[in-house]
């Protein structure tokens, strides 16, 4: 009798944005210019959907509200393929650059745009560029008030742009009842190593990312990973950037699809809300009690 494979213990998440919306472009492409930029997001997202379909895997898509408003059919297509929808802000500005009022407006507008586009709930939040920090209590409060059941914005590694090096590696529950589900890391000789996707997958050999995810699993994590549709697009228009930003954005674009397919075949993927159903389900029951 054929054996039923065990369910995946990994979640791939997609920050659904176009190449010109990333933080390293913010000083070069202003938000007023977004409309005029050659768009790639539809073709790149459809390519990702094909990869997930071919590997029989499902993911969580954290969608930029600006994209959801302009491409509602694309967002509905993502939901119809069985993926989870989440929110990735409206204007893709770092949380720590905003006031509380600005963050509240941006978040509510984004959540409404994503949910209106697909007609389904977007229960999770992902901050642009992992810019949510534990020392911004008002931001966590805004997310809880907006009705999010979880956040997945902390990347607990040392990084020049993030601020979560000391945050827990394991998911944890906030006083509001909302869950924080951080990016996966691998602990090794007292260090936390980044293994969760994006630029790290593009830069590192596939063997390193496989080792890192296996190690995170052995250490009791259910790893959450991330990538962007533009990271599968080596032919995207080149924007003139400072050398460090150019390296960060363009390194390894041609290699990611092969690596992603291999990782999906080996580890599989479930949407975050299914991978963490025990935690998030408990929250739902308590809220309704
Ligand atoms: Zn982003």
Distance (angstroms) between ligand 1 centre and the Cα of 77 equals: 20
Per-residue pLDDT of the chain (289 residues; tens, 9 = 90+): 667 777 889 999 999 999 999 998 998 999 999 999 999 999 999 999 999 999 999 999 999 999 999 999 999 999 999 999 999 999 999 999 999 999 999 999 999 999 999 999 999 999 999 999 999 999 999 999 999 999 999 999 887 777 688 899 999 999 999 999 999 999 999 899 999 988 999 999 999 999 999 999 999 999 999 999 999 999 999 999 999 999 989 999 999 999 999 999 999 999 999 999 999 985 554 444 3
Distance, in Å, from the CA atom of 92 to the CA atom of 153, rounded to the nearest integer, reads: 13
CA angle 60, 148, 172 (to 5 degrees): 80
Instruction: Name the fold adopted by 11-288.
Output: TIM Barrel (3.20.20)
Nearest residue to 268 (alpha-carbon basis) of 257, 276, 260: 260
| pLDDT tens readout for residues 220-259 | 999 999 999 999 999 999 999 999 999 989 999 999 999 9
Q: How many CB atoms lie within 10 A of CB 138?
A: 14
Nearest residue to 150 (alpha-carbon basis) of 274, 62, 14, 280: 280
Distance (angstroms) between ligand 1 centre and the Cα of 79 equals: 19
| pLDDT tens readout for residues 19-60 | 999 998 998 999 999 999 999 999 999 999 999 999 999 999
Distance (angstroms) between ligand 1 centre and the Cα of 211 equals: 26
pTM higher than 0.75: yes
* List of E strands, the chain: 11-16, 60-63, 84-87, 124-125, 150-151, 172-173, 179-180, 185-188, 191-194, 224-227
Q: Within a 13 Å sphere around the CA of 162, how many CA atoms are in the beta-carbon half?
A: 18
Distance (angstroms) between ligand 1 centre and the Cα of 287 equals: 30
Bridge partners (DSSP) of residue 179 are: 150, 173
Distance (angstroms) between ligand 1 centre and the Cα of 5 equals: 33
Distance, in Å, from the CA atom of 288 to the CA atom of 153, rounded to the nearest integer, reads: 26
Q: According to the model, what pLDDT value does residue 163 have?
A: 66
Distance (angstroms) between ligand 1 centre and the Cα of 64 equals: 8
Distance (angstroms) between ligand 1 centre and the Cα of 6 equals: 31
Q: How far is CA 216 from the centre of its chain?
A: 18
Distance, in Å, from the CA atom of 22 to the CA atom of 35, rounded to the nearest integer, reads: 15
Distance, in Å, from the CA atom of 261 to the CA atom of 266, rounded to the nearest integer, reads: 9
């Amino acid at each position: 009798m054929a054996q039923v494979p065990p369910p995946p213990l990994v979640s791939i998440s997609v920050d659904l944005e176009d190449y010109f919306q990333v933080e390293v472009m913010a000083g070069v492409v202003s938000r007023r210019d977004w409309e005029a930029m050659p768009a790639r997001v539809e073709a790149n997202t459809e390519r990702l959907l094909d990869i997930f379909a071919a590997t029989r895997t499902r993911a969580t898509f954290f969608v930029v509200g600006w994209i959801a408003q302009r491409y509602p059919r694309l967002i509905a297509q993502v939901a119809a393929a069985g993926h989870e929808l989440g929110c990735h802000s409206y204007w893709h500005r770092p949380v720590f650059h905003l006031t509380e009022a600005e963050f509240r407006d941006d978040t509510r507008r984004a959540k409404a745009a994503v949910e209106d586009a697909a007609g389904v709930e977007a229960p999770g939040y992902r901050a642009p560029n992992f810019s949510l920090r534990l020392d911004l209590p008002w931001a966590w409060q805004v997310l809880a008030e907006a009705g999010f059941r979880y956040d997945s914005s902390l990347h607990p590694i040392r990084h020049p742009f993030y601020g979560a090096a000391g945050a827990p590696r394991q998911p944890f529950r906030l006083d509001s009842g909302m869950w924080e589900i951080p990016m996966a890391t691998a602990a090794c000789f007292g260090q936390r190593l980044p293994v969760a996707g994006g630029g790290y997958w593009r830069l590192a050999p596939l063997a390193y990312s496989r080792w890192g995810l296996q190690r995170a699993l052995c250490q009791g994590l259910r790893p959450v990973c991330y990538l962007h549709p533009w990271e599968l697009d080596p032919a995207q228009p080149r924007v003139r950037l400072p050398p460090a930003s150019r390296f960060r954005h363009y390194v390894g674009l041609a290699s990611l699809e092969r690596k992603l397919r291999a990782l999906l075949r080996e580890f599989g993927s479930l949407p975050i809300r299914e991978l963490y159903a025990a935690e998030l389900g408990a929250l739902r029951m308590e809220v309704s009690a």
